[in-house]
Amino acid sequence: MHNYLVVEIKFMAKLKILEFPNPRLRIKAHPVEAIDEKLNQKIDDMFETMYEAPGIGLAATQVDYHYRLLVADVSAEKNEPWVLINPVIIEKDGVEVTEEGCLSVPGYFEEVERAEHVKVRYLDRSGSQVETEFDGLLGVCVQHEMDHLEGKLFVDYLSEVKRQRIRKRLEKNRRHHSQGTAAVL
């Protein structure tokens, strides 16, 4: 008689993060209709991608999944994950200016004006409706990721001149990187 240990292994995939000026970043996300195993796998993949990038927030739009879903974790230990499904800001107040960066605009940081406090209604990973007040870094992160769900990037808060400069520099870096890669192959 043999005893066998059956182990279920769940594979997570690191997703490709779209980069500015990719037009798919401008697609407005659709509401999530069902919280099922497929969505939960996408959430796991998004967390893996965000942590590996490394980042503190990731909207589904950034990984070419155009549904109203975002993940965030601003803790130093990466042990305070947030999942917001179909988030809607229901209250906001105050103004703060903070320096922001974005996984879709790698290497660039600029000051952006956001609400100091926001109250958001959303579904959590289990499908329960929740209302949470966010402020500080997590509040900025949630607002930043919610912008992505509307097809908006933090560079949209900048002047046209700055936005064009960033676009040209990123495109030049991509061309340089792809030429370097081709030479190695």
Task: List, by residue number, the catalytic residues.
Answer: 145
Task: Specify the amino acid at residue 164.
Answer: Q
**Burial track 45-77 (b if 16+ CB lie within 10 A, e otherwise):** bbbbbbbeeebbbbbbbbbeebbbbbbbbbeee
Q: Which two tokens stand for residue 101?
A: 């960066």
Reported as half-sphere exposure (CB side, CA atoms, 13 A), residue 99 has a value of 4
Task: Specify the amino acid at residue 22.
Answer: N
Q: How many CB atoms lie within 10 A of CB 95?
A: 9
What is d(CA 160, CA 94) in angstroms, rounded to the nearest whole number?
A: 26
